[in-house]
């Protein structure tokens, strides 16, 4: 089977779906790889790097979709709401599509993909189980976002991060507060500590306390308890508004004392909860920084503006989106390794082997045979349950 890698078309996207170093393992597994000319340049990979590893270079996007049995993208139609729909006309019946699809975004997108007979796999729905860790591209990209959030904060903050003892006296370390200790939050804690800042974190899941402390962070405990704080997959679950209101009241003091606040709370398929209100922003010292990693979905800070950095009440609020794309070389490398492992799981000897009794396959398969076949996605959008025959 031929794996096709088109150039990413989302405005400003610099990642690429496959890197040259990953090609030998795919060739060994029975695949051929074809890539659009120039697809890897923005990430630091030249066409020659690919041809040296056995890939075929194709002149344009249409040729890639025409040639490929499996199309691998970073942002597929669904997660790419700017230019992604242009790819629908290029899909072929029985073709496979692998990448970020944002399956809980818009049902019309999934219906468009299904209507072309494409079997699509949403990489962000990879189950949080031991067998799937090496395929978890969402965690890989979240790691980069957490790292980059601290760098952005340090670059914006009018203070130094580490404690320094100098001839001009002692400089106290910056105080960085991370709300949400998932993959991005934990990496933010680790990065903040490496930069010499004092890091603290809060999460609705008490179980992450040990992880925060193991990285040298202080876990902020609030006298409120979340109901069903995490789901079966280990992700934080949405709470009711009364919980968030009480949470904001208790977090206010910690936010006011912080030089940097990094928010990471994203609930799949839902608007992110407001964790930092305008009143809380007003309480922060002039020059303080908020980096909102939920900006693309609406933001955890009441004053966040997606894709922008704004100054409100003398506080810098960073709402940049797609941070992983700002580190395209290693982001592409990590993504490619995850996807390669996933592809060799789905295709044995270069041929499809889709076993729906396998959790990894079942939980990532979104469309097949002209239908949306993912049970949780159908339930989310209120679609009727598919018969067993159609889902087989």
Residues tagged active-site = 128, 133, 136, 139, 235
- Give the separation between CA 313 and CA 317, rounded to whole angstroms: 10
Nearest Cα residue to 318 out of 287, 293, 286: 293
Sign of CA dihedral 295, 301, 304, 309: negative
CB 364 within 8 A of CB 123: yes
Return the residue matching tokens 């920084």. 289
Residue 50 CB-density burial (10 A; 0-12 exposed, 13-18 middle, 19+ buried): buried
Three-state secondary-structure class, residue 312: strand
CB 127 within 8 A of CB 135: no
CB-facing half-sphere around the CA of 78: CA atoms within 13 A: 29
Radius of gyration of the chain (CA): 22
Buried b or exposed e, range 305-319, using 16+ CB within 10 angstroms: eeeebeebeebbbbb
Return the residue matching tokens 């800070």. 301
Nearest Cα residue to 140 out of 126, 129, 119: 126
DSSP 15-84: --S--GGGHHHHHHTT-EEEEETTTTGGGT--HHHHHTTTPEEESSHHHHHHH-SEEEEEE-BTTBTTTG
Three-state secondary-structure class, residue 369: coil
Residue 118 CB-density burial (10 A; 0-12 exposed, 13-18 middle, 19+ buried): buried
CB-facing half-sphere around the CA of 15: CA atoms within 13 A: 26
99: left (phi over 0), alpha (psi -120 to 50) or beta: left
């Amino acid at each position: 089977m031929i794996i096709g890698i088109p150039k990413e078309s989302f405005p400003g996207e610099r990642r690429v779906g496959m890197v040259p170093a990953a090609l030998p393992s795919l060739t060994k597994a029975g695949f051929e790889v074809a890539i659009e000319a120039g697809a890897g340049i923005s990430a630091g990979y030249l066409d020659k790097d690919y041809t040296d590893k056995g890939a075929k270079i194709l002149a344009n996007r249409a040729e890639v979709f025409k040639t490929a049995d499996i199309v691998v993208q970073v942002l597929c139609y669904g997660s790419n709401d700017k230019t992604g729909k242009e790819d629908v006309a290029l899909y072929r019946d029985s073709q496979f599509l692998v990448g970020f699809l944002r399956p809980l975004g818009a049902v019309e997108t999934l219906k468009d993909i299904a209507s072309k007979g494409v079997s699509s796999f949403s990489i962000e729905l990879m189950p949080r189980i031991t067998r799937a860790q090496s395929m978890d591209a969402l965690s890989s990209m979240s790691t980069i976002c957490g790292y980059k959030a601290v760098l952005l904060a340090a670059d914006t903050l009018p203070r130094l991060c580490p404690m320094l003892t100098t001839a001009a006296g002692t400089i106290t370390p910056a105080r960085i507060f991370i709300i949400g200790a998932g993959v991005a939050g934990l990496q933010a804690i680790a990065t903040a500590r490496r930069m010499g800042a004092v890091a603290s974190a809060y999460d609705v899941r008490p179980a992450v306390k040990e992880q925060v402390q193991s990285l040298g962070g202080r876990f902020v405990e609030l006298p409120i308890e979340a109901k069903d704080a995490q789901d079966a997959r280990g992700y934080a679950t949405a709470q009711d508004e009364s919980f968030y209101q009480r949470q904001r009241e208790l977090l206010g003091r910690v936010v006011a004392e912080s030089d940097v606040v990094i928010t990471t709370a994203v609930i799949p398929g839902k608007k992110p909860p407001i964790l930092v209100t305008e009143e809380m922003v007003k309480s922060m010292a002039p020059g303080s920084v908020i980096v909102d990693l939920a900006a693309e979905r609406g933001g955890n800070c009441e004053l966040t503006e997606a894709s922008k950095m704004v100054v409100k009440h003398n506080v810098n609020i960073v709402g940049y989106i797609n941070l992983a794309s700002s580190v395209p070389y290693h982001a592409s490398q990590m993504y490619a390794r995850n996807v390669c492992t996933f592809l060799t799981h789905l295709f044995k000897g270069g041929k499809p082997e889709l076993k729906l009794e396998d959790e990894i396959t079942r939980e990532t398969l979104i469309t097949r045979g002209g239908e949306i076949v993912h049970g949780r996605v159908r339930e989310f959008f209120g679609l009727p349950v598919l018969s067993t025959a159609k889902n087989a």
